[in-house]
Chains A and B, each alone.
Chain A
Amino acid sequence: MTDITSAILDDHDRFRRAFAELDDLATPDELARAWEPLATLLDLHAAAEEAVFYPELIQRGTDAEDETLDAVGDHNEIRDAVAEARRHPAGSAAWRAAVRQARTANSEHMAEEEDDALADFRRHADPGLREELGRRFLAFKAEHENGEGIDTGDVDPERYVAEQEQKAGNEIPDDVSLGIGGLKEQ
């Protein structure tokens, strides 16, 4: 049983610990060995969220459009920083600057996502859907283990949102309701 919001939080926890572990390492070899799996997971996590989570959030969340625009923009910053770090030897000043940039962008992204997008989704998606998406999220990551087949290029946030809304529009009509929905949080 894996709720997608829990699966995403699990990855966030791994990120926090993996970045913290870098603080204790000094030699280039140690840094390279610790950084490479973290870099791969950062790219894979972003791709998995864009493939599985955000297309569903757009159909259900209260502020889904803004949350998705923010998230994809953050993913681009993280992807850029990861790509920049890969251009430099581990432990070099340029590498450290790029890793720092990735860490800062990722920390901001996780905080926003946990407080906004994930909370929004929990309020508007039923448990069955969350479980189903959790399975798809983990399957996506397993299918692209070690980052194989992942496009790490930037994604245009506006275009991504427009495409997802267009797809959703085929299935979900405009909400003409009073927007009361679930009241469990009250």
Chain B
Amino acid sequence: MNHLLRELAPIPADGWQQIDDEARERLTTHLAARKMIDVAGPHGWAHSATSLGRTRRIDVPEAAREREALVRQRRVLPLVEVCVPFTVERAELDDAERGADDLELDDLDRAAAQVGLLENRAVFHGWPDAGIGGIIDASPYQHRTLGTDPQRYPHVVANAVDTLRCNGIGGPYALAINPDGHTAIVESTEHGGLLVLDHLRRALGGGRVKRTPGITGAVVLSLSGGDFTLELGQDLAVGYRHHDAGTLTLYLEESFSFRVREPDAAIVLD
């Protein structure tokens, strides 16, 4: 048995299957950042830190300075553990045993949305307490103004893509945009009836426009690879915490770090 303690939960195999399937489906929708960056791992729950391949000089202890010694310490980025609890009614799981395949898992859906929000936000805005720097802070370019008129978005995005290309950053590219901005895009057409979404995809060199919960504003970034890496210790999994007569408390859990390897590969649109 591992630390998720799934074997201790009073959940039949069919119930676990439905919980895992629902979690996977919801998370795949919410984890927008993973659709635009590289993911390394998973390396397992015991994996604690990402090697940065760098060192820092430290002093030799005073009592050991008889001969000259050069001392360095390896620098690493510790992984963050994220754990979001949710509840499931035991009556729903009893129905799964009877063959029901439409369990009410609303709290799981909310937990999946929270995990997506956390991960997306760490990637784009960073997480100072965790030592994670985000794509937005790392970008060296002056921020562009996206505005509120979706018909102007293709022009702004094409301009950003041109800047990336001129700086040697290859495509295709993605536009990561907050949910409201994404809704405005899919609801808009330009003069002549061309969908703004289609125009944007062309401006992105055949790339994609991604609805990204957790991001403030928008970012144009390269999809060519090697620029942004999410390193997974344990990929998202469902674990068991406790239960009573009516309710089971479970949780979604993962461990990860995030690194910007090429700051020049993204431009921020406010």
A contact set with B: CB distance below 8 Å? 125-129, 172-184, 186
Contacts and interface: CB of A to CB of B under 8 A. Distances in A.
Contacts of A126: 38-41, 229, 231
A49 B39 CA distance: 23
A174 B46 CA distance: 11
A178 B34 CA distance: 15
B23 interface: yes
Closest 5 CB pairs of A and B: A126-B40, A182-B39, A177-B235, A127-B226, A183-B34
Nearest to A175: B42
13 contacts: A126-B39, A126-B229, A176-B45, A177-B254, A178-B24, A178-B27, A178-B235, A179-B235, A180-B24, A183-B31, A183-B39, A184-B39, A184-B223
A54 B148 CA distance: 51
Given A178-B235, A178-B236, A181-B232, A173 B45 contact: yes
A129 B50 CA distance: 13
Given A127-B229, A175-B42, A180-B24, 14 more contacts: A127-B38, A127-B225, A174-B2, A175-B235, A177-B235, A177-B236, A177-B237, A178-B27, A178-B238, A180-B34, A180-B236, A183-B35, A184-B223, A186-B28
Interface residues of B, number: 33
Interface of B: 2, 4, 20, 23-24, 27-28, 31, 34-46, 223, 225-226, 229, 231-232, 234-238, 254
B50 to A, nearest CB: 10
Contacts of B238: 178
A181 B36 CA distance: 13
Contacts of A179: 24, 235
B28 A180 contact: yes
A181 to B, nearest CB: 6
A182 B234 contact: no
